[in-house]
């Protein structure tokens, strides 16, 4: 039997259109089952709180449960690697953050690339760190701190939550830009580092707001500066570090990532719904309680931001000679 040319073309067009149409329908119906949000740190900290706040808001918007799964370990590399190797179907997501951008340079033997294997979906928030000292420390301003450090080389110990933590590299950026050489003292998390700062065992920390704001307000720690470009609303009298050291800026941040090659339609849907959730005053207010400000934008905006963070911390890591543990 011979087909007319017109009939053959019609059938061929239908055959090629059907997979695309079915794929589009599949993407539009996403998600049809619970979505796993991998948080690459143990439960309880600020990063984990952000994950649960956003998961709750997204669950309502997507009408499907977002299940938070904490997979801490190896400086966030364990959980990040799990997502990097997951099926790119939108059902395994990552709460990405500052550690991922830092680890891209800090570790050389990972079986994944944060820049290549994690697709940026949506940014969520950013928050400054706070440069804090024990009240007994002689400096009350950043210029006084820099002068004291230069006059007393080797006498200032900087505590942090661990080698390569955001607080560590923020302090090394300060070293690099101010021409200082503070000694780094790593701890297993911020809580023991703050305890030793309160006891005077270390002299300074670049800490997340949630770990030190209560002590600052109680007067048991002194805030010298915040590390964002602008002052924090919750600490309006504390200057931005850039006011004394122009160009300095360091923030912790969080966003949603997915395995590379996740369909663009799914990424775009997650981005739209995340941005819509972040526009809600209730969620903004909850994030603001620990000094975080919402950070919205397109997946392309988030990719550009991540790239700039990787480049920034690569320079600091090389300057300070930081080695991953």
Res 153: pLDDT: 87
Task: For 58-104, write each residue's pLDDT tens digit.
Answer: 999 999 999 999 999 998 999 999 999 999 999 999 999 999 999 99
Q: How sure is the predictor about 325, in pLDDT bands with cuts at 50, 70 and 90?
A: confident
For residue 246, name the pLDDT band (cuts at 50, 70, 90): very high
CATH assignment, 130-243: 3.40.190.10
pTM reported for the whole predicted model: 0.88
Q: Classify burial at 41, counting beta carbons within 10 Å of its beta carbon; exposed 0-12, middle 13-18, buried 19 or more.
A: buried
Mean pLDDT, rounded, for 93-120: 96
Would you call 157 helix, strand, or coil by DSSP? Answer: strand
Question: What's the confidence (pLDDT) of residue 324?
Answer: 83
> Is residue 2 over pLDDT 50?
no
What does the pLDDT look like over 264-294, one tens digit per residue?
Answer: 999 999 999 999 999 999 999 999 988 899 9
pLDDT of residue 16: 56
Asked if CATH classification 3.40.190.150 holds for the domain at 33-127+252-320, the reply, yes or no, is yes
pLDDT in tens, 139-198: 999 999 999 999 998 899 999 999 999 999 999 999 999 999 999 999 988 999 999 999
Asked whether residue 19 carries a pLDDT value surpassing 90, the answer given is: no
Mean pLDDT score across all residues of the chain: 92
**Which pLDDT value is given to residue 5?**
52
Which strands form 293-294's sheet, in the order they lie side by side? 66-70, 35-39, 92-97, 251-259, 118-128, 293-294
Residue 267: closest CA among 297, 294, 295, 299: 299
Q: Which residues lie below 8 Å from residue 231, measured CB to CB, with a gap of 6+?
A: 238, 239, 240
Domain ranges of the chain: 33-127+252-320, 130-243
Structure confidence at residue 25 (pLDDT): 60
Collapsing DSSP to helix, strand or coil, 204 comes out as strand
Distance CA 309, CA 251 (A): 10
39 has a pLDDT exceeding 70: yes
Please state, for a pLDDT cut of 90, what percent of the chain lies above it: 82
User: Is 13 a residue whose pLDDT tops 70?
Assistant: no
CA atoms within 13 A on the CB side of 7: 4
Q: How far is CA 119 from CA 23, 59, 94, 112, in A?
A: 20, 21, 10, 12
């Amino acid at each position: 039997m011979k087909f007319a040319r017109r009939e053959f073309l019609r059938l061929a067009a239908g055959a090629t259109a059907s997979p695309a149409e079915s794929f589009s329908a599949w993407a539009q119906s996403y998600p049809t089952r619970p979505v796993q949000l991998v948080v690459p740190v143990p439960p309880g900290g600020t990063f984990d709180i952000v994950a649960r706040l956003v998961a709750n808001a997204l669950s309502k918007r997507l009408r499907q449960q977002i299940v938070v799964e904490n997979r801490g370990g190896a400086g966030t590399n364990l959980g990040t690697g799990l997502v990097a190797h997951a099926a790119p179907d939108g059902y395994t997501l990552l709460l990405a953050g500052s550690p991922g951008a830092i680890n891209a340079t800090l570790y050389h033997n990972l079986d994944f690339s944060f820049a290549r294997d994690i697709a940026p979906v949506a940014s969520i928030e950013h928050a400054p760190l706070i440069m804090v000292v024990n009240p007994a420390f002689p400096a009350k301003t950043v210029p006084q701190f820099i002068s004291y450090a230069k006059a007393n080389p080797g006498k200032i110990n900087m505590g942090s939550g661990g080698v390569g933590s955001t607080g560590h590299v923020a302090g090394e950026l300060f070293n690099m830009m101010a021409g200082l050489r503070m000694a780094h003292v790593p701890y297993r998390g911020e809580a023991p580092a703050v305890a030793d700062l309160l006891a005077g065992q270390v002299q300074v920390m670049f800490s997340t707001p949630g770990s030190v704001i209560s002590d600052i307000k109680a007067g048991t720690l002194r805030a010298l500066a915040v590390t964002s470009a602008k002052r924090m609303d919750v600490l309006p009298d504390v200057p931005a570090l850039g006011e004394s050291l122009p160009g300095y800026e360091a923030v912790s941040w969080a966003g949603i990532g997915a395995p590379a090659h996740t369909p663009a339609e799914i990424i775009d849907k997650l981005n739209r719904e995340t941005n819509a959730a972040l526009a809600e005053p209730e969620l903004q207010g909850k994030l603001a309680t620990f000094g975080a400000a919402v950070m919205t934008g397109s997946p392309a905006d988030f990719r550009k931001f991540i790239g700039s963070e990787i480049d920034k911390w690569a320079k600091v890591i090389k300057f300070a000679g930081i080695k991953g543990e």
